Chain A
């Protein structure tokens, strides 16, 4: 017992010293050196990915890539958490030197995006908002806050959950970027009722979905006459219907959609 008290004291000192090395000025600024983000990615893949996974979603409902973390609101808090671990939950303490810690924090806060500008053309978000509500007609299928449709996924915080490059590709070729959970589903009940909608959750015996009319439905698979999941998105491509400038503006608007925070 005495040994662990000493160790704890030593650790506490180490943590204090190392925290000071992370620039407190950077908290919430969202600005990180590209070299740090790149170096942080390497540290992440060797130290963190074993549990948190390549996408940062390997532990329960924790989503590291979103950057907004319940237990670590600031960069300093994040560095402290990494240094001390969460012993009760089984997260070990990681002893990193100051440059390693700065890099790892940068990688997480930058949304795991080691090359954010790659091939992405961002226009003007204010103009993009007009495209979103006008020619794009996005609310006919997607939700933004309390407005819009339910056929497609909610876009309220899409700028926080998907990288810009993914959103750009989605606008041009929706099927190629459709996440499996969002695949359109079709069920026919024993009575012959056809139910189409978007899948919300599924397990061995049941599936939960939101119908095209916005109704929440849970189905038991054994009671269905037909059940199919389509790999083709119902979203149209905007490659031809919007100009490159409009696409860039729309993308900038989508990237700006970060929701109302955690």
Chain B
């Protein structure tokens, strides 16, 4: 009740504010999908669909897309950010921790906020940041040294800055925060450093911590029976991809990362809750409503940090509230998001680590003998790349890695604060001993590894059966997210630097644009300014924005 009252007060304060156009109220966030000219959250809406109602660009005219403007990032390195767009103004992050405000129509910049923190942060996989959240006229960004900052959307001035965890112990914040009512919710990265992960909410006005949910329970707490000894203290459970929210159920859903150490499961006997799980939390209190674990006692580094996609549709003939997730472990899952009950699970790629799932969705494991390749490999059947769900086609779209596997080796690993805590290593399968491997961090312009190490694909899954409806194969792998629109277009990238439009119903290629043999790490978004629809993609160090030829 107190939370509700505060939320009302907050809303009143916002409503009585300066009367700026760029005020993003709680109500606007709840109905974000209904104003498709804007892109107000990481996934475009609370349900995680990454689907837009815009339809100006359609299968008949998509061939007339042309580049309208580009933004050259001022720093090197992979760029994983997903922009938000509010009433003609785009906000996005560039590494390490800058916020850029620019004109969404021309790409010209209003201001850049540069967060100055320590450069001693510890991140496994690059100085990545995946984006922002907005409430009222305040932007929220997590930092590599585990701070959360609030920045004035008009001026780029810092409003508050709170430290959420100790960077020297491997904690960081790389995800785009999620605003729910008057709170900003984040999680922490650091699954390769033996952190003890958490999801936490902060008061949007002050930055004061409102609640914290530990993704690894301490002795005595529910779930602690799935740990033994002191393993929980360095048990991992990072959270580095933005969750989703169901206002009717008042639940927020988050995917939790791998246990620590990554590869040596013997060092942490038990199921290791809530690692590799999706958790449903009360956004007012952080209290756990339910959880579902995909990979118990994981030894493959298979974070469940995929966007939990919320879909209202019929299940066995009954209108149902579902949660869909294509997991890094290679299985596609459908859960009842009211209770967490397992409804369906089927591999969406070739897997050999499990022969299937039991009635409760627990894997029936078939571990491969030492030295034999496991499929999928460490990077998984998919990873953090945003999937998309189209209510029109009823299909779930995911970027997948096909035929990519490798050998996992485990070894004991003593925990030392701030040091890598992998507990072994992984070697991707190669046809020839010293042949090239697929790049882990950044792709060069020449593909020397070829499709012999696996290849990427966009897979359309029928959620009712878990079967593939169609496949769009790529030659190289893909780390790109997916956008669908109400005109039944699907936009995606890939490692080759092609930005592609497919027919969402058939998977047929309708249009492509080459952005230059550099990896696309981000997900497309779309918005409208002055009656014109734009589509965005980030490739290498360039944000490219397309629209129809005038």
Binary flags per residue of A210-247, CB closer than 8 Å to B gives 1, else 0:
00000000000000000000000000000000000000
Assess whether A180 is in contact with B450, with CB atoms less than 8 Å apart. Answer: yes
Complex CA distance for A179 and B452, rounded to whole angstroms? 10
Which of A46, A92, A199, A203 contacts B422 (CB under 8 A)? A46
Complex CA distance for A133 and B475, rounded to whole angstroms? 38
Assess whether B448 is in contact with A181, with CB atoms less than 8 Å apart. Answer: yes
187-205 of chain A: CB within 8 A of chain B? 199-205
Interface residue count on the A side (C-beta < 8 Å): 47
CB B211 to nearest CB in A, in angstroms, measures 27
CB B223 to nearest CB in A, in angstroms, measures 28
Assess whether B437 is in contact with A200, with CB atoms less than 8 Å apart. Answer: no
Assess whether A180 is in contact with B119, with CB atoms less than 8 Å apart. Answer: no
**Which has the most chain A C-beta neighbours within 10 Å: B116, B420, B512?**
B420
Assess whether B75 is in contact with A88, with CB atoms less than 8 Å apart. Answer: yes
Which of A4, A45, A61 contacts B120 (CB under 8 A)? A4
Q: Which of these binds chain A: B104-112, B213-221, B423-431? A: B423-431
Q: Which of these binds chain A: B123-131, B198-206, B397-405? A: B123-131
Contacts of A7 in B (CB 8 A): 118, 120
Assess whether B443 is in contact with A87, with CB atoms less than 8 Å apart. Answer: no
Complex CA distance for A166 and B77, rounded to whole angstroms? 33
Assess whether B442 is in contact with A202, with CB atoms less than 8 Å apart. Answer: no
Q: Which of these binds chain B: A31-39, A50-58, A136-144? A: A50-58
Complex CA distance for A15 and B175, rounded to whole angstroms? 31
SS class of chain B's interface: helix, strand, loop or mixed?
loop
**Which has the most chain B C-beta neighbours within 10 Å: A51, A166, A177, A199?**
A51
Complex CA distance for A54 and B439, rounded to whole angstroms? 10
Is A178's beta carbon under 8 Å from chain B? yes
Is B446's beta carbon under 8 Å from chain A? yes
Assess whether A203 is in contact with B437, with CB atoms less than 8 Å apart. Answer: no
Assess whether B120 is in contact with A205, with CB atoms less than 8 Å apart. Answer: no
A-B contact count (CB 8 A): 152
Is A13's beta carbon under 8 Å from chain B? no
CB B76 to nearest CB in A, in angstroms, measures 6
Q: A7-B120, A177-B432, A180-B435 are in contact. Are A204 and B475 (CB under 8 A)?
A: yes
Complex CA distance for A199 and B431, rounded to whole angstroms? 17
Is B367's beta carbon under 8 Å from chain A? no
Q: A4-B118, A88-B96 are in contact. Are A53 and B434 (CB under 8 A)?
A: no
Contacts of A177 in B (CB 8 A): 432-433
Q: A4-B117, A89-B126, A180-B450 are in contact. Are A203 and B498 (CB under 8 A)?
A: yes
Is B488's beta carbon under 8 Å from chain A? no
Complex CA distance for A90 and B124, rounded to whole angstroms? 8
Complex CA distance for A203 and B450, rounded to whole angstroms? 9
Binary flags per residue of B126-159, CB closer than 8 Å to A gives 1, else 0:
1110000000000000000000000000000000
Assess whether A53 is in contact with B437, with CB atoms less than 8 Å apart. Answer: yes
Q: A50-B125, A50-B420, A90-B128 are in contact. Are A202 and B440 (CB under 8 A)?
A: no
Complex CA distance for A24 and B441, rounded to whole angstroms? 31
Assess whether A204 is in contact with B450, with CB atoms less than 8 Å apart. Answer: no
Contacts of B123 in A (CB 8 A): 90, 92
Assess whether B124 is in contact with A51, with CB atoms less than 8 Å apart. Answer: yes
Q: Which range holds the interface residue count of chain B?
A: 35 or more
Assess whether B447 is in contact with A181, with CB atoms less than 8 Å apart. Answer: yes
Binary flags per residue of B459-502, CB closer than 8 Å to A gives 1, else 0:
00000000000000111100000000000000000101010000
CB-based nearest B residue for A167: B434
Q: A4-B117, A204-B474, A205-B512 are in contact. Are A180 and B449 (CB under 8 A)?
A: yes
Which of B124, B127, B496 contacts A50 (CB under 8 A)? B124
CB A80 to nearest CB in B, in angstroms, measures 15
Is B121's beta carbon under 8 Å from chain A? yes
71-109 of chain A: CB within 8 A of chain B? 85, 87-93, 95
Complex CA distance for A49 and B301, rounded to whole angstroms? 14
Is B436's beta carbon under 8 Å from chain A? yes
CB-based nearest A residue for B301: A50
CB A145 to nearest CB in B, in angstroms, measures 21
Assess whether A179 is in contact with B474, with CB atoms less than 8 Å apart. Answer: no
Which of A47, A90, A199, A205 contacts B125 (CB under 8 A)? A90
Contacts of B445 in A (CB 8 A): 61, 201
Is B95's beta carbon under 8 Å from chain A? yes
Contacts of B126 in A (CB 8 A): 51, 89-91
Binary flags per residue of A155-178, CB closer than 8 Å to B gives 1, else 0:
000000011001000000000111
Assess whether B124 is in contact with A61, with CB atoms less than 8 Å apart. Answer: no
Assess whether B476 is in contact with A203, with CB atoms less than 8 Å apart. Answer: yes
CB B441 to nearest CB in A, in angstroms, measures 4
Contacts of B124 in A (CB 8 A): 50-51
189-247 of chain B: CB within 8 A of chain A? 192
Assess whether B420 is in contact with A46, with CB atoms less than 8 Å apart. Answer: yes
Complex CA distance for A241 and B430, rounded to whole angstroms? 30
CB-based nearest A residue for B456: A204
Assess whether B436 is in contact with A93, with CB atoms less than 8 Å apart. Answer: no
CB A98 to nearest CB in B, in angstroms, measures 16
Contacts of B3 in A (CB 8 A): none
Is A119's beta carbon under 8 Å from chain B? no
**Which has the most chain A C-beta neighbours within 10 Å: B120, B422, B446, B496?**
B120
Q: A88-B96, A163-B434, A202-B475 are in contact. Are A59 and B442 (CB under 8 A)?
A: yes
Assess whether A202 is in contact with B450, with CB atoms less than 8 Å apart. Answer: yes
Which of A89, A179, A202, A204 contacts B494 (CB under 8 A)? A204
Which of B120, B128, B432 contacts A179 (CB under 8 A)? B432
107-163 of chain A: CB within 8 A of chain B? 162-163
Is B269's beta carbon under 8 Å from chain A? no
Is A69's beta carbon under 8 Å from chain B? no
Contacts of B452 in A (CB 8 A): 180
**CB-based closest 8 A-B pairs:** A90-B126, A90-B127, A87-B119, A58-B440, A60-B442, A180-B452, A180-B450, A4-B118
Question: Can you list 14 A-B pairs with a CB-CB distance of less than 8 A?
Answer: A4-B117, A4-B119, A46-B425, A50-B192, A51-B124, A51-B126, A51-B440, A51-B441, A88-B96, A95-B419, A181-B450, A199-B450, A202-B451, A204-B476
